Amino acid sequence: MKKKLISLLMTVAMAGSVLMGSSIVSAAENAETETEAAAEETEESADESTGGGTSDGLEDVSEPVTLSLMVTTRPSTDAKDFYLDWLPELVHERFPNITIEVEQLPTDQYKQTVRLRFASGEGPDLFTWWAKKQAEDLVQAEYVRDLSDFNLLDKFDASITSAYTFDDKVYGLPLGTSFLTTWYNKDMFAEVGYDTYPTNWDEFIDVCQKLKDAGYTPITCGDNSSFVIQFAMYQIGASEIYAENPDFDNQLYTGETKFTDECWVDTVSKLQYLYDNGYVVEDSLGLSQDQSRQLFIDGEAAMIFDGSFGYTQLMNEGAADFERGMFCVPSNAEGEDFVYNWTSANALFTSNLSDELHQQACDLVMQYWFDESSPLFEAWVENTTDIIAFEGVSDSREMINEYLDRYKDFQNIDNLNNAWPEGVSDEMCSRFQEVITGDATAEDVCEAMQAKFEELAG
Amino acid sequence: MIDKRIRNVLLIFIIPALVFYVVFWISPVLMSFYYGLTNWRGLGTYDFIGLTNYENLIKQGTLFASMGNTIKYTLFVVIWGNVQALALAMILNMKLRSRGIFRTVFYIPALFSTIVVAFLWSYVYAPHYGMISEIFELLGLSGAPNLLGDRSTSLFAAAFVETWKTSGTMTIIYLAGLQNISDEVIESAKIDGCTGWQAIRYVKIPMLSNTITVNVMLGLIGGFKSFDYIFALTSGGPGDSSSTLMYTIYKMAFVEMQYGKAEALAAMAFVFILVVSIAVLTIMKRKELEA
């Protein structure tokens, strides 16, 4: 009988391994309660220590300390990486008592790991995170420190810093900006009679048709990596939704607007139009983002929906040699307002759960990092792939500067999903894949987004 | 018989392992059932919401869609995986020249990590650049299939990669089983007038019943916990056409931050997998006895 009982227990336990992923849950919650007290103790001293001057007169921490830094995985190059190489090296050189251990993870795993570590009371001392709604839960759970007193805060572009401001308190130091854009092959455009980029929807469709008629594939999209669907959708949505109602996202939460509103249905319909008319590469659902980028740089397609963050990959040499350009998809009709996408990329956050010594060390690192005369600042400016939004610093890439200068007088809008609960954008991408296969309509996508929004925001 | 006192002493030695097991395996499983009844979002507080998560999973169709995909994936992995491995094992059991080299070559896929295999196959399947489309082009054929981008094939395309990766291991197991069948048995079957196919159907396969059970169970486990190839090759798409139970749980918990709902789905997946596994094992054991 006992043997049977033990066997039964073992069987249940073995089968239970299916659910082991959830084991973190209980451990996490216990640890969360324990660390709240520690966080409260250190909060006061942390608020005091974020002030200070330039890094010249800063003294090292009193004893050796190891800071954990978490960042998302970025494309690797032969050059030294800022986060993996320069930051730990230069900080340790300046402050011998401070050692930085860097951990990088792909975006999805990164999000879950950071959240779960905070929930278990062991969040990273320093980490990068995204703006607005995406940072809201971390702020509300008091996992991140208020950096409003950081003395170099006014050096950051205030309009970007506002994306990390909650209840008038700043929680993140913006590390840069980026924009979603459409890269295009200027040579192909010139061949079909376009010496410049389109400025309204009709011109955009016209150039697509002319490219198609000339035997070129107008647009490539790696829709197998479903998140890339956002790149086109948010460019189209910028003018379609926000030109008339910049407050659309806030109104989603009050019920005044819905994803099923006409402006959203039109946004999805316009993207669908590009697929239905054969402007997007055939079999895009089988192509990954990398494979699609390769098609563009090989001159197999005239345009690709991507972003400023794709600069390094898309400027690589491929099978064809051609001049690149960028424009934001103009979904506006001729004479109507145009809105383009320009968004905060991410920001540096510090943990509210770290002890006093770690928080002091974090302050030193931040002071040193954002001191314009420090070698660390120089390394950051030289190596970042984002567009730095810091006083007196301009981007070294001519194309990027030209792009931002071109659109500077127009209204701009963040990545649309910054205002939504996590999961709505995934629903949009999944459902739009069904539009591509012909199994759903634009209305279905909008209804699914609204249903998901209500489920997640409720 | 072991003396009762000695047995009690021995039981004491089991206690640390048992405590470890209960704390780190049993209690999290039980806790997960509890969290399935809450609206926990991963951070902060939560409320007890009864069976709402279960109700929503059924009402929204998530449960049946992901369960259906898991069943299809598992059936493909079990059936095709075993047919392929058994055929390979029979070929590799023949007295071929360079048999050792062939056995090594067919085992190679098992040595690669999942992510490497998925990356390789993403280029095999890729339209425009992929191996399949290149072969079509070489043969002067048009209309190479877009296996990952088609709702009707994406799930099976991912499952096929799983069978490719596990074929080496399953083949080795079948090979070991085949080598346990003595030549005398086959010889006497032939004397009794068995053709080659009849020897396989009525002698070899029944004598491999234990091995088949092992491989079927391996395929079943691999199919039910299908996540990595789906994650790397299709991300559950197009749409939700290749979202299996494990991938849906992952997406719900770590993308949508609906931990409570994901726990509810995990609990239902647990019961489903347990019932199916026990049923299949029972049937297979009965078949073994009949054989």
- Distance between CA atoms of residues B156 and A40, nearest Å: 53
**Closest chain B residue to A6, measured at CA:** B18
Has residue A49 got a pLDDT over 70?
no
Is residue A235 within 8 A of residue A343, CB to CB? The reply is: no
> Does B28 lie at the interface with A, CB-CB under 8 angstroms?
yes
- Distance between CA atoms of residues A87 and A66, nearest Å: 13
Q: Quick check: A115 and B43 CB within 8 A?
A: yes
Do A162 and A184 reside in the same domain of the chain?
Answer: no
- Distance between CA atoms of residues A388 and A179, nearest Å: 12
- Mean of the per-residue pLDDT values of chain A: 88
**Closest chain B residue to A116, measured at CA:** B42
CB contacts under 8 A, B 139-158 vs A, are 146-151
Do A168 and A184 reside in the same domain of the chain?
Answer: no
Residues B29-65: tens digit of each pLDDT: 888 899 999 998 877 788 999 999 999 999 999 999 9
**Closest chain A residue to B275, measured at CA:** A15
Is residue A114 within 8 A of residue A402, CB to CB? The reply is: no
Q: Quick check: A19 and B240 CB within 8 A?
A: no
The reply to whether omega before B238 is within 30° of 0 (cis) is yes
- Distance between CA atoms of residues A304 and A296, nearest Å: 7
> Does B59 lie at the interface with A, CB-CB under 8 angstroms?
no
Map chain B to HEC letters.
CCCHHHHHHHHHHHHHHHHHHHHHHHHHHHHHHHHCCECCCCCCCCCECCCHHHHHHHHCCHHHHHHHHHHHHHHHHHHHHHHHHHHHHHHHCCCCCCHHHHHHHHHHHHHCCHHHHHHHHHHHHCCCCCHHHHHHHHCCCCCCCCCCCCCCCHHHHHHHHHHHHHHHHHHHHHHHHHHCCCHHHHHHHHHCCCCHHHHHHHHHHHHCHHHHHHHHHHHHHHHHCCCHHHHHHCCCCCCCCCCCHHHHHHHHHHHCCCHHHHHHHHHHHHHHHHHHHHHHHHHHHHHHHHC
Do A377 and A315 reside in the same domain of the chain?
Answer: no
Q: Which pair of structure tokens corresponds to residue B270? A: 């647990």
The A301-307 sheet, strands edge to edge: A217-220, A301-307, A180-185, A324-327
Do A164 and A244 reside in the same domain of the chain?
Answer: no
Mean pLDDT across A241-249: 95
- Distance between CA atoms of residues B158 and B167, nearest Å: 14
Do A330 and A361 reside in the same domain of the chain?
Answer: no
CA atoms within 13 A on the CB side of B79: 7
Residue A33, classified by CB atoms within 10 Å of its CB into exposed (0-12), middle (13-18) or buried (19+), is exposed
Q: Which pLDDT score, from 0 to 100, does residue B5 have? A: 85
The region of weakest confidence among A35-49, A51-65, A391-405 is: A35-49
- Distance between CA atoms of residues B118 and B232, nearest Å: 6
Tell me which of A35 and A130 has the higher pLDDT.
Answer: A130
CA atoms within 13 A on the CB side of B257: 24
Chosen from A285, A289, A293 to mutate, greatest number of chain B CBs within 10 A: A285
Closest Cβ–Cβ partner in B21, B129, B266 for A13? B21
Do A207 and A318 reside in the same domain of the chain?
Answer: yes
Residue A251 lies in a domain: yes
Q: Which pLDDT score, from 0 to 100, does residue A108 have? A: 74
Q: Quick check: B238 and A282 CB within 8 A?
A: no
In order along chain B (291 residues), what is the average pLDDT of each group of 10 residues? Answer: 80 91 91 92 86 95 95 97 95 86 90 92 91 93 91 96 95 94 89 87 91 93 93 93 96 90 94 92 82 64
Neighbours of B72 (CB within 10 A): 16
Number of domains comprising chain A: 2
Regarding beta strands A180-185 and A173-178, do their DSSP bridges make them parallel or antiparallel, or are they unpaired? Answer: unpaired
Q: Quick check: A111 and B128 CB within 8 A?
A: no
- Distance between CA atoms of residues A375 and A87, nearest Å: 10
Residue A43 lies in a domain: yes
Work out the percent of chain A whose per-residue pLDDT is above 70.
87
Do A141 and A205 reside in the same domain of the chain?
Answer: no
Q: Quick check: A291 and B129 CB within 8 A?
A: yes
Domain span at A375: 28-176+344-388
Neighbours of A333 (CB within 10 A): 12
Rg of chain A, C-alpha, whole Å = 24
Residue A151 lies in a domain: yes
> Does B187 lie at the interface with A, CB-CB under 8 angstroms?
no
Residue A123 lies in a domain: yes
- Taking contacts as CB-CB distances below 8 angstroms, the residues of chain B near A13 are 21, 25-26, 29
- Distance between CA atoms of residues A434 and A432, nearest Å: 5
Chosen from A224, A284, A417 to mutate, greatest number of chain B CBs within 10 A: A224
Q: Quick check: B239 and A111 CB within 8 A?
A: no
- Taking contacts as CB-CB distances below 8 angstroms, the residues of chain B near A423 are 255-258
Q: Which pLDDT score, from 0 to 100, does residue A440 have? A: 96
Q: Which pLDDT score, from 0 to 100, does residue A31 have? A: 39
Residue A393 lies in a domain: no
Q: Which pLDDT score, from 0 to 100, does residue B284 have? A: 86
- Distance between CA atoms of residues A89 and A221, nearest Å: 39
**Closest chain A residue to B147, measured at CA:** A286
Residue A225 lies in a domain: yes
> Does B230 lie at the interface with A, CB-CB under 8 angstroms?
no
Regarding beta strands A126-129 and A65-72, do their DSSP bridges make them parallel or antiparallel, or are they unpaired? Answer: parallel
- Distance between CA atoms of residues B126 and B121, nearest Å: 8
Do A331 and A358 reside in the same domain of the chain?
Answer: no
Do A246 and A359 reside in the same domain of the chain?
Answer: no
Closest Cβ–Cβ partner in B26, B126, B263 for A16? B26
- Distance between CA atoms of residues A374 and A377, nearest Å: 5
Q: Quick check: A287 and B263 CB within 8 A?
A: no
Chosen from B27, B30, B32 to mutate, greatest number of chain A CBs within 10 A: B32
**């789905």: which residue's tokens?**
B265
> Does B31 lie at the interface with A, CB-CB under 8 angstroms?
yes
Residues A407-433: tens digit of each pLDDT: 999 999 999 999 999 899 999 999 999
- Distance between CA atoms of residues B86 and B212, nearest Å: 9
- Cα separation of the two ends of chain B: 35
A–B CB contacts, 8 A cutoff, strictly below: 173
- Distance between CA atoms of residues B189 and B55, nearest Å: 58
> Does B268 lie at the interface with A, CB-CB under 8 angstroms?
no
Is residue A300 within 8 A of residue A222, CB to CB? The reply is: no
Q: Which pLDDT score, from 0 to 100, does residue A102 have? A: 96
- Taking contacts as CB-CB distances below 8 angstroms, the residues of chain B near A25 are 28, 31-32, 35, 40, 259, 263
Last-in-domain residue among A388, A416, A446: A388
pLDDT range class, residue A34, cuts 50, 70, 90: very low
- Taking contacts as CB-CB distances below 8 angstroms, the residues of chain B near A39 are none
DSSP A360: H
> Does B19 lie at the interface with A, CB-CB under 8 angstroms?
no
Do A275 and A359 reside in the same domain of the chain?
Answer: no
Residue A257 lies in a domain: yes
Residues A314-371: tens digit of each pLDDT: 999 999 999 999 999 999 999 999 999 999 989 999 999 999 999 999 999 999 999 9
* Closest by Cα among B17, B282, B201, B253 to A28: B253
Last-in-domain residue among A388, A419, A449: A388
pLDDT range class, residue A374, cuts 50, 70, 90: very high
Report the sign of the C-alpha dihedral through residues B61, B63, B64, B66, in that order.
Answer: positive
Helices (H), A132-223: 133-140, 158-161, 186-191, 201-213
> CA distances (Å), B112 to each of A46, A410, B116, B145, B166, in order?
48, 51, 6, 26, 10
- Distance between CA atoms of residues A77 and A86, nearest Å: 14
Q: Which pLDDT score, from 0 to 100, does residue B237 have? A: 87
- Taking contacts as CB-CB distances below 8 angstroms, the residues of chain B near A109 are 254
Q: Which pair of structure tokens corresponds to residue A109? A: 């795993």
Chain A nearest CA to B88, separation (Å): 30
Is residue A393 within 8 A of residue A400, CB to CB? The reply is: no
Q: What is the H or E stretch that residue A306 is in?
A: strand A301-307
Q: Quick check: B256 and A26 CB within 8 A?
A: no
Report the sign of the C-alpha dihedral through residues A65, A70, A73, A75, in that order.
Answer: negative
Chosen from B43, B134, B233, B250 to mutate, greatest number of chain A CBs within 10 A: B43
Q: Which residues pair with A347 in a beta bridge?
A: A129, A174
pLDDT range class, residue A76, cuts 50, 70, 90: low
The region of weakest confidence among A81-90, A333-342, A377-386, B40-49 is: B40-49
Q: What is the pTM of this model?
A: 0.84
Closest Cβ–Cβ partner in A16, A111, A283 for B29? A16
Do A159 and A255 reside in the same domain of the chain?
Answer: no
DSSP A58: P
> Does B256 lie at the interface with A, CB-CB under 8 angstroms?
yes
pLDDT range class, residue A396, cuts 50, 70, 90: confident
Phi then psi dihedrals of residue B13, to 5 deg: -65, -25
What are the structural domains, with CATH classification, of chain B? 55-290 (1.10.3720.10)
DSSP A131: -
Q: For residue A372, what is the domain's CATH number?
A: 3.40.190.10
Residue A77 lies in a domain: yes
Neighbours of B240 (CB within 10 A): 21
pLDDT range class, residue A59, cuts 50, 70, 90: confident
Do A319 and A361 reside in the same domain of the chain?
Answer: no
> Does B237 lie at the interface with A, CB-CB under 8 angstroms?
yes
